[in-house]
Amino acid sequence: MAGLGTDWAVAWLRRSAAVVAEHRVELIELDRAIGDGDHGENMDRGYTAILARLDETPPATPGAAFKLAAMTLMSKVGGAAGPLYGTAFLRAATAVGEAGTLDSGLVAAALAAARDGVVARGKAESGDKTMVDAWTPAVDAAAAAAASGAEPSAVLGAAADAAEAGAVATDPLIARKGRASYLAERAIGHRDPGAASSALILRAAADAASDAASGAPSGAAA
Amino acid sequence: MAGLGTDWAVAWLRRSAAVVAEHRVELIELDRAIGDGDHGENMDRGYTAILARLDETPPATPGAAFKLAAMTLMSKVGGAAGPLYGTAFLRAATAVGEAGTLDSGLVAAALAAARDGVVARGKAESGDKTMVDAWTPAVDAAAAAAASGAEPSAVLGAAADAAEAGAVATDPLIARKGRASYLAERAIGHRDPGAASSALILRAAADAASDAASGAPSGAAA
Amino acid sequence: MKKLINDPRAVVDESVDGFGRAHADLVTVHIDPLFITRKQAPKPGKVGLVSGGGSGHEPLHAGYVGFGMLDAAVPGAVFTSPTPDQIIPATVAANSGAGVVHIVKNYTGDVLNFETAAEMAQAEGVDVRTVLVNDDVAVEDSLYTAGRRGVGGTVLVEKIAGAAAERGDDLDAVTAIGRRVNENVRTMGVALSACTVPHAGVPSFELGDDEIEIGIGIHGEPGRHRIPMENADGITDRLLAPILADLSPAPGDKVLLFVNGMGGTPASELYIVYRHAVGVLEAAGLVVERSLVGNYITALEMQGASISVLRLDDEMTALWDAPVHTPALRWGV
Amino acid sequence: MKKLINDPRAVVDESVDGFGRAHADLVTVHIDPLFITRKQAPKPGKVGLVSGGGSGHEPLHAGYVGFGMLDAAVPGAVFTSPTPDQIIPATVAANSGAGVVHIVKNYTGDVLNFETAAEMAQAEGVDVRTVLVNDDVAVEDSLYTAGRRGVGGTVLVEKIAGAAAERGDDLDAVTAIGRRVNENVRTMGVALSACTVPHAGVPSFELGDDEIEIGIGIHGEPGRHRIPMENADGITDRLLAPILADLSPAPGDKVLLFVNGMGGTPASELYIVYRHAVGVLEAAGLVVERSLVGNYITALEMQGASISVLRLDDEMTALWDAPVHTPALRWGV
Ligand SMILES: Nc1ncnc2c1ncn2[C@@H]1O[C@H](COP(=O)(O)OP(=O)(O)O)[C@@H](O)[C@H]1O
Ligand SMILES: Nc1ncnc2c1ncn2[C@@H]1O[C@H](COP(=O)(O)OP(=O)(O)O)[C@@H](O)[C@H]1O
Ligand SMILES: [Mg+2]
Ligand SMILES: [Mg+2]
Ligand SMILES: [Mg+2]
Ligand SMILES: [Mg+2]
């Protein structure tokens, strides 16, 4: 069973940057509907900065890659998403420690730690129409997959599937956290932008893992 | 040959008020195209005030009616048109003096004095695309009609016809006075709002005179 | 989108740069990370005041850096809260040893970023307190939301807490007066048009030709109710009703009335709103002791206004009247 | 048309009423005829300063009534010059015996109405002089037009002449310094959008989504050239070029740079324009000694800006710096 190494972690971040750039306008539109229209711009600014830092100081371990992402997102994204994603990656880094490769269990643990970080910082519960609604199903699916002995790439695939479904499931909700909460009923029918970006990023993780598993060049954009 | 009395002068002012109110938006539109869009509003405000003052202190002579109009337009219209029309009526009042009725010669003289007042105040020449381009042909036509022995109502009819033609003839001109002058070539193809209001007012004078001649109730609105 | 800008992504940097040049006698602009400090070093021993938030609300916050108000301001991207790596050095710069008060508008992003920065500044030995501003009565049910937003009241908190710091109040006292202002101020806004965030390029929401948003925030986020256009007096009534219901002032109370323009509203219209608002407050038995009318906390070029009512006590009034010398607010000096 | 107004015809009356209430410490509003005077009677023997013009340019002129600036302001209907029956009593009220200076923007309506009023005030024994402001370089060919319009420079004339009157200069001296300011200031404006006069109800001109008007006036009258949208630096270059060509300052000259918002432009954009303008002036060898950035002479809610450059001499600089205390401009007091 192939563990996921630093190459994967770096490929994940690069692929995320590409995917976020590609979906920038879509995320802006989602946020414009029930927030303030900056989510796509914020995330794009953050991941663009990650690309630059990956070139400057290539990380030596998956944990170092996560930490680099955490610090960059924290200092470049701003808004609600910056500290939330920053904390998520910081907790993930702590969860994987110095490990050179991540097996399925460690991948699932990293996702759980990330989600816990988001909850600790943002105090949102499931159903509050936030990124937690993408992360929690993803964490649950990853844990189940890992427990059933799936490969790391399959664990991430299950997480991405669940995150996407979770993002879609925010559509009918009333928001109780973040800017969309000011809208009350008027948020119904709109997807939460942070849940959408979380699903994109988790899909990028899974895609980077399948590429790694199938021997495709690491770091290739989507 | 029936002279025009105070009834006619008052009827003219009332009819002008009605006509200006009716064409308020049209005058605003003309001024919006090559000026600042207030001419219809300004004139309407002025003539509405004239109506009120006519009720308060009914004038005893045509000259007193003109003076009432002069003072009211001067104090209520503002902009370029207020002092110009104000001076016009003031000069007309002086020209007719204490006369109880105006014969054709006095009517033509009153119009000439009014025009001279506009020119003295505004320093515009013919062809500058201002109200002078309605007044000067009107004054010339009135003088010719009076010289050929026409009735006062026919003198005013000739003046109104000429003023209307003069207003139309401002369309192709470049403005050299007033706000429209800032536009240079871009004023071409637009009618001067002050020339248009002058034509309306002179037509009201003629209509009021025909009504008086035909014994229609004085002061009837158009 | 037509704006007097160059690269949409350079809007904040270029604007702050121009601001710094225009007010070089009052402020210093620090770049990378971006923050603004007072030119004249505050008295040693003075409590430092730092505020910040997304850009697009100018003159808030950088326009209030100077004598009698803020020691530092931290601008984020347009409508996006700034990041800890900006807030931390601003906090350190504002600290003369007496500690620093963060004045934070209650938005998730601002709260989280200032919280992180405060922890880290604290770790660097700066005593940091936070005054959270949440004066927007448009957000009705704070149990199930992110809580009331910080809007117009922020300007009043910054002025009054700034005067307290300037006269030498200690960290506890400055924090307490800032919180007292927040507890006594309520705000409600209306939008007649949306605004366009430069990087988004399209209006932040669509309003019909005959619609207005009651309870608008300052980020072009939709308001709470959309209603057909009304006249100024009717709108003013709608803004004041929830303010007075929530503040429940007693007859005879003295208040400061603040009519704020959202950026695209002519001053003449603000005075029409002010005129009717004074009448409503006086009819409620209140004494309008102080007034502020103008564009003080904006949402880019949005057309609209907000009304804030602050219940004054004698100390607040004295601190309001105290001299202030900043790019956007100046009197007594 | 969405505006925070009640009856479109009551806009000026209600707005001035609100203004008077908000600034009751500084101004007195006289109604029927409508004009505004300073609350604190000026020193006996001080030359009086009166200005006025159409409404819709707020804070001009009423916002500049007070210590160190105007003694009276006369607002007309929106974009329509006031009438002699307003100007005459304002002139009489501003006269303490030392005479009165009329500061008149060069528009046919303003000129004719102030001229009439001056004659009549003169007949009532008031010595009246006129400073005509005509700083707009957008109007190229003054022989065949009504002449250059008075725009941004008006604010600078009112401030500097006001300071001269306040320090006790006599009627000739105040008139002379006012004229000197006018001779040394040039202005050029741009509109990104039109404005809507309340009683007209529709925008004063139509601009395409990608068009701007270069050389716009302050009445929503069309400008001289319509061009496709450009970035802020490009537009700034276009505004400054005719200003500098006409003013032809010498390297080393000291100037005041005034970037004015037309009403609907965010402050951030004005600072972006300011930033580039400073660069252009410095590259031309000029020294930007003083600056003013903000909404000081507007055209309702129009989006756009104007740039004014005033060549300073030491006396003008000193008078610019002199204390001023009005609703819209205040420093040193
Ligand atoms: N308290 C919270 N807990 C978890 N996620 C949150 C919380 N508040 C906001 N979010 C997430 O942040 C997203 C908005 O991010 P962004 O637009 O970048 O920040 P801002 O709201 O400050 O403009 C929301 O869509 C939501 O998913
Ligand atoms: N110098 C002048 N001489 C004669 N008529 C003039 C002059 N200047 C302007 N006008 C007339 O005044 C009209 C504009 O009046 P109005 O719109 O009420 O005033 P303003 O131009 O001040 O807004 C023009 O259409 C023109 O006929
Ligand atoms: Mg957002
Ligand atoms: Mg006009
Ligand atoms: Mg945001
Ligand atoms: Mg006009």
**Number of residues in chain A:** 222
Please write the tens of the pLDDT for every residue from D269-315: 999 999 999 999 999 999 999 999 999 999 999 999 999 999 999 99
Please check the confidence at residue A218 and state whether its pLDDT lies above 60: no
Ligand 3 centroid – CA D306 distance (Å): 33
CA distance A72 to D29: 58
| Mean pLDDT value across residues D118-137 | 94
| Mean pLDDT value across residues D178-195 | 97
Please check the confidence at residue A217 and state whether its pLDDT lies above 70: no
Mean pLDDT of chain C: 95
User: What pLDDT does D229 receive?
Assistant: 96
Measuring CA to CA, which residue among B10, B12, B25, B109 is closest to residue B60?
B10
Q: What is the distance of C-alpha D322 from the center of its chain?
A: 19
CA atoms within 13 A on the CB side of D214: 19
H-only helix segments in C184-313: 232-247, 267-283
Nearest CA to ligand 1 atom 17: A39
- Is C109 within 8 Å of A75 when comparing Cβ atoms? no
Q: Which of B36, B83, B176 minimises the CB distance to D116?
A: B83
Please write the tens of the pLDDT for every residue from D154-173: 999 999 999 999 999 999 99
Distances in Å between the Cα of C145 and the Cα atoms of A166, B213, C40 are 21, 79, 41
Q: What is the pLDDT along chain B (222 residues), one digit of tens a residue?
A: 579 999 999 999 999 999 999 999 999 999 989 998 899 999 999 999 999 999 999 999 999 999 999 999 999 999 999 999 999 999 999 999 999 999 999 999 999 999 999 999 999 999 999 999 999 999 999 999 999 999 999 999 999 999 999 999 999 999 999 989 888 888 999 999 999 999 999 999 999 999 877 765 544 443
| Cα angle for residues B1, B5, B9 (degrees, 5° grid) | 125
- Checking phi first, is residue D203 left (phi over 0); if not, alpha (psi -120 to 50) or beta? beta
User: What pLDDT does C229 receive?
Assistant: 96
The DSSP symbol for D196 reads B
CA distance D74 to D34: 7
* ipTM score for this prediction: 0.91
Q: How many CB pairs under 8 A join A and C?
A: 115
For tokens 């899974």, the residue is: A206
DSSP string over C147-172: -PPP-THHHHHHHHHHHHHHTT--HH
User: What pLDDT does A220 receive?
Assistant: 42
User: What pLDDT does C5 receive?
Assistant: 97
**Joined tokens for residue A39:** 């989510």
The b/e string for C10-42 (b: 16+ C-beta within 10 A; e otherwise) is ebbbbbbbbbbbbbeebbbbbeebbbbbbeeeb
Measuring CA to CA, which residue among B164, B169, B144 is closest to residue B206?
B164
pTM of the model: 0.93
**Joined tokens for residue A166:** 């979770």
Please write the tens of the pLDDT for every residue from C243-276: 999 999 999 999 999 999 999 999 999 999 999 9
User: What pLDDT does C57 receive?
Assistant: 98
**Number of residues in chain D:** 333
User: Given the CA of residue A130, which atom of ligand 1 is nearest to it?
Assistant: 27
| Mean pLDDT value across residues A147-159 | 97
User: What pLDDT does C146 receive?
Assistant: 77
Query: What share of chain B has pLDDT > 70, as a percent?
Result: 96
Domain C185-311 architecture = 2-Layer Sandwich (3.30)
User: What pLDDT does C204 receive?
Assistant: 81
**Three-state DSSP class for residue D128:** strand
Nearest CA to ligand 2 atom 16: B39
Distances in Å between the Cα of C118 and the Cα atoms of A119, C89, C111, C115 are 20, 11, 10, 5
Q: How far apart are the first and last CA of chain C?
A: 40
Give all chains having 3 or more CB-to-CB distances under 8 Å with chain B. D
Measuring CA to CA, which residue among C181, C191, C184, C272 is closest to residue C233?
C272
Give residue limits of the domains in chain D.
12-184, 185-311
Measuring CA to CA, which residue among D42, D116, D45 is closest to residue D74?
D116
User: What pLDDT does D201 receive?
Assistant: 86
Catalytic choice (D61, D102, D219, D276):
D219
Query: What share of chain C has pLDDT > 90, as a percent?
Result: 88
**Joined tokens for residue C272:** 């029409």
Q: Is D219 a catalytic residue?
A: yes
| Cα angle for residues A9, A11, A17 (degrees, 5° grid) | 110
- Checking phi first, is residue D174 left (phi over 0); if not, alpha (psi -120 to 50) or beta? alpha
Residues of A with CB below 8 A from C141's CB? 184
Nearest CA to ligand 1 atom 3: A122
Which residues in chain D belong to E strands, given as ranges?
Answer: 27-30, 35-38, 48-55, 72-78, 100-105, 128-133, 185-191, 211-214, 225-228, 254-261, 287-294, 304-311, 324-325, 330-331
User: What pLDDT does B219 receive?
Assistant: 44
Pairing of strands C100-105, C128-133: parallel
Does B118 sit in the ligand 2 pocket, CB within 6 Å? Answer: yes
Please write the tens of the pLDDT for every residue from D39-63: 987 789 999 999 999 999 999 999 9
Interface with chain B: mutation pick from D80, D139, D196, D214, highest number of B CBs within 10 Å: D80
CA atoms within 13 A on the CB side of B111: 36
The DSSP symbol for B184 reads G
> pLDDT category, C143, cuts 50, 70, 90?
low
**Joined tokens for residue D288:** 């930007």
The order of strands in the sheet holding D48-55 is D27-30, D35-38, D72-78, D48-55, D100-105, D128-133
CA distance C229 to C192: 8
Please state which CATH number belongs to domain A6-214. 1.25.40.340
Give all chains having 3 or more CB-to-CB distances under 8 Å with chain D. B, C
| Mean pLDDT value across residues A126-147 | 98
Q: Which of D112, D146, D199 minimises the CB distance to B41?
A: D199
Please check the confidence at residue A222 and state whether its pLDDT lies above 50: no
Q: Cis omega before residue C59 (within 30°)?
A: yes
**Joined tokens for residue A215:** 């021997």
| Cα angle for residues D257, D262, D268 (degrees, 5° grid) | 70
Q: Which residue has the higher pLDDT, A2 or A179?
A: A179
User: What pLDDT does B221 receive?
Assistant: 42
Nearest CA to ligand 1 atom 7: A178
User: What pLDDT does B9 receive?
Assistant: 98
Decide: D and A in contact? Rule: 3+ Cβ pairs under 8 Å. no
Please write the tens of the pLDDT for every residue from C151-170: 999 999 999 999 999 999 99
Interface with chain D: mutation pick from B38, B84, B192, highest number of D CBs within 10 Å: B38
Those residues of chain A whose CB sits closer than 8 Å to some CB in chain C are 28, 32, 34-38, 41-42, 45, 74-84, 121-122, 175-179, 181-184, 186
> pLDDT category, C189, cuts 50, 70, 90?
very high
- In this structure, whether the domain defined by D12-184 belongs to CATH 3.30.70.100 is answered with no
**Three-state DSSP class for residue A128:** coil
| Cα angle for residues B27, B30, B31 (degrees, 5° grid) | 85
Q: What is the distance of C-alpha C259 from the center of its chain?
A: 13
Query: What share of chain C has pLDDT > 70, as a percent?
Result: 98
Q: Which ligand is nearest to the CA of B45?
A: 2
User: Given the CA of residue A179, which atom of ligand 1 is nearest to it?
Assistant: 21
> pLDDT category, A182, cuts 50, 70, 90?
confident
- Chain D: give the shortest CA distance to residue B160, in Å: 26
Q: Which of A75, A183, A186 minimises the CB distance to C84?
A: A75
Q: Is D79 at the interface with chain B, CB within 8 A?
A: yes
> pLDDT category, C331, cuts 50, 70, 90?
very high
**Which amino acid is located at A16 in the chain?**
S
| Mean pLDDT value across residues D240-262 | 97
A118-132, A204-218, D17-31: least confidently modelled range: A204-218
CA distance A73 to A47: 7
Please check the confidence at residue C48 and state whether its pLDDT lies above 60: yes
User: What pLDDT does B218 receive?
Assistant: 47
> pLDDT category, A215, cuts 50, 70, 90?
low
